[in-house]
């Protein structure tokens, strides 16, 4: 191999490795939790919302999510852990934003969780649905899996089966979806902490979230 060729090979390998290394570090930039923007037209927490945690908590986290979105499943586990750490200070408000165009079982999973909610088992069902996302995501018979979950939770199956596709369930889900779209939400999960949007929440580490919540508690 001529010296010139060795130099070319060396230069290319250095450029590839160096560029790759730069990218790894560049996208590792910590999120900037500073200057959160308050969203004025965010619908206030109402009786229609599903709420978990201390109702008089100082910090309210509103989440718009889709049960079939993988990032939402990861976020679900993170929020659950955060709620265990901030038992009295953090409440979660969960709102539906099913991405029905890209996720085949998004709608049926949302309907199933809503139907379980009508029997007081919203959170139990949403835990099961998120924790087992891989087992039903690509399954054409996902509804049967949700019926099994309903059985496991001891729900009235006749009521569950009729609620899952009732007009009122469909209306609730459609209204929730439209409300999210009107707000300009275009990705899941979208989070609001005390009405302030969290930009790029999937880039936050658990510690980033903890700090954000602690700062919010201090500010109250």
Partner 1 sequence: MKKMKLKKIVLFLLSLAGFFDSSYLAIIDYKHILPPCSLIKGCDLVLTSRFARILGLPMGVYGALFFLALIFILLLENQQNKFFKYFKFLTLIGVVISIILIYIQAFVLHAFCQYCLLIEAIVFTIFILSYPFNSSSR
- Restricted to residues 194-213, the positions that interact with partner 1 (CB under 8 A) are 200, 202-203
Cβ neighbors of 107 (< 8 A, separation 6 or more) are 98, 100, 173
Q: Which of 39, 71, 153, 217 binds partner 1 (CB under 8 A)?
A: 71
Q: Are 126 and 113 in contact (CB under 8 A)?
A: yes
Question: Which C-beta is closer to partner 1: that of 23 or that of 157?
Answer: 23
* Closest among 67, 113, 62, 125 to 90, alpha carbons compared: 62
Closest contact distance (angstroms) between CB of 188 and partner 1 is 8
One-letter-per-residue 3-state SS of 8-42: HHHHHHHHHHHHHHHHHHHCCCCCCCCCCEECCCC
Question: Considering only residues 173-192, where is the footprint of partner 1 by CB under 8 A?
Answer: 186-188
Q: Is 137 in the site for partner 1 (CB under 8 A)?
A: yes
Cα separation, 83 vs 85, whole angstroms:
5
Burial string for 82-91 (b: 16+ CB within 10 Å, else e) reads: bbeebeebbb
Tell me the closest approach of the beta carbon of residue 203 to partner 1, in angstroms: 4
Q: Which residues on adjacent β-strands are paired with residue 23? A: none
Stretch binding partner 1 (CB under 8 A), from 33-41, 65-73, 107-115, 159-167: 65-73
Q: How far is the CB of 176 from partner 1 (least distance, A)?
A: 18
CB-count burial class (<10 Å; 0-12, 13-18, 19+) for 15: exposed
> Does residue 35 belong to the site contacting partner 1 (CB under 8 A)?
no
Q: Is 24 in the site for partner 1 (CB under 8 A)?
A: yes
Does 167 bind partner 1 (CB under 8 A)? Our answer is no
Residue 165 or 187 having the CB closest to partner 1: 187
What's phi and psi for 153, nearest 5 deg?
-85, 0
- Of the candidate spans 64-72, 115-123, 143-151, 155-163, the one that interacts with partner 1 by CB under 8 A turns out to be 64-72
Exactly one of 3, 34, 101, 158 binds partner 1 (CB under 8 A); which one? Answer: 101
For the bound state, the minimum distance from the C-beta of residue 100 to partner 1, rounded and expressed in Å, comes to: 11
Alpha helices of the chain — where are they, by DSSP H?
A: 3-26, 70-85, 106-117, 122-131, 133-136, 142-152, 157-163, 167-182, 206-219
Q: Kindly state whether residue 76 participates in binding partner 1, applying the rule CB under 8 A.
A: no
List of residues contacting partner 1 (CB under 8 A): 1, 5, 8-9, 12, 15-16, 19-20, 23-24, 27-28, 69-71, 74, 99, 101-103, 137-138, 186-188, 200, 202-203
């Amino acid at each position: 191999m001529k010296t010139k060729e060795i130099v070319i090979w060396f230069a290319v390998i250095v450029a590839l490795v160096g560029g790759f290394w730069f990218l790894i570090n560049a996208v590792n930039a910590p999120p900037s939790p500073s200057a959160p923007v308050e969203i004025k037209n965010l619908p206030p927490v109402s009786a229609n919302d599903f709420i978990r945690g201390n109702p008089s908590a100082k910090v309210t986290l509103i989440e718009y999510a889709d049960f079939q979105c993988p990032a939402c499943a990861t976020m679900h586990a993170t929020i659950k852990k955060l709620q265990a750490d901030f038992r009295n200070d953090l409440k979660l408000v969960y709102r539906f934003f099913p991405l029905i165009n890209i996720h085949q079982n998004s709608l049926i999973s949302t309907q199933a969780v809503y139907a379980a909610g009508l029997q007081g088992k919203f959170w139990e069902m949403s835990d099961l649905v998120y924790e087992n996302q891989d087992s039903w995501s690509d399954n054409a018979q996902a509804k049967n899996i949700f019926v099994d979950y309903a059985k496991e939770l001891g729900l009235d199956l006749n009521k569950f089966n009729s609620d899952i596709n009732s007009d009122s369930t469909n209306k609730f889900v459609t209204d929730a979806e439209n409300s999210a779209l009107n707000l300009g939400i275009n990705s899941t999960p979208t989070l609001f902490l005390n009405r302030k949007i969290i930009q790029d929440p999937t880039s936050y580490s658990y510690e980033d979230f903890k700090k954000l919540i602690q700062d919010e508690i201090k500010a109250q």
